[in-house]
Amino acid sequence: MPRWKVKTEFTFDSAHYIKDYDGPCGRIHGHTYRVRVEATSEKLHASEYCPHEVMVADFRTLRWAKRDVTKGGLDHCLLNEAMPEGYETTAEAIAQYIYEETKRRVPQGVRLKVAVSETPNSWVEYEDD
């Protein structure tokens, strides 16, 4: 059976702090977050921007988080205020949140993997079967 895999990478700049963290990460500070999204499907789909079934998922849809916070993304915000209640602002939780929000936006049956990096040498990956 055929399978397509698309990958996109983007950055956004935001501040955060980790609640009750004993150390510098407990204070407000910022990062340029690097995000990689991988989408896999056994069929092609239409998107909100293109009515033809010609893509796994629209790159614009996969990169929603890079938009300014005033336009529904995560760029230039305080993540502690922008993310829904119940999410911490660790890289693990940010990856999970981006995954879950992206999953709601892509066609059913598209499998996702999301990687988030706060620094050049540290990252986390999140996927759900």
> Tokens standing for 101?
């929000």
Summarize the confidence of residues 58-71 as an average pLDDT.
97
Q: Where are the domains of the chain?
A: 4-126
What's the distance, CA 13 to chain centroid?
Answer: 13
Summarize the confidence of residues 38-59 as an average pLDDT.
96
To the nearest whole percent, how much of the chain has pLDDT over 70? 100
CATH homologous superfamily of 4-126 equals 6-pyruvoyl tetrahydropterin synthase/QueD (3.30.479.10)
Summarize the confidence of residues 106-118 as an average pLDDT.
97
Whether residue 11 has pLDDT greater than 90 = yes
pLDDT for position 1: 81
Question: E strands, the chain, where?
Answer: 4-16, 29-41, 111-119, 122-126
pLDDT for position 129: 72
Summarize the confidence of residues 89-105 as an average pLDDT.
97
Query: What mean pLDDT is reported for the chain?
Result: 96
pLDDT for position 17: 97
The CB density around residue 118, as the number of other CB atoms within 10 Å, is 19
Q: Look at residue 25 and give its three-state secondary structure.
A: helix
Cα-Cα-Cα-Cα torsion 19, 22, 24, 26, nearest 10 degrees, comes to: 10
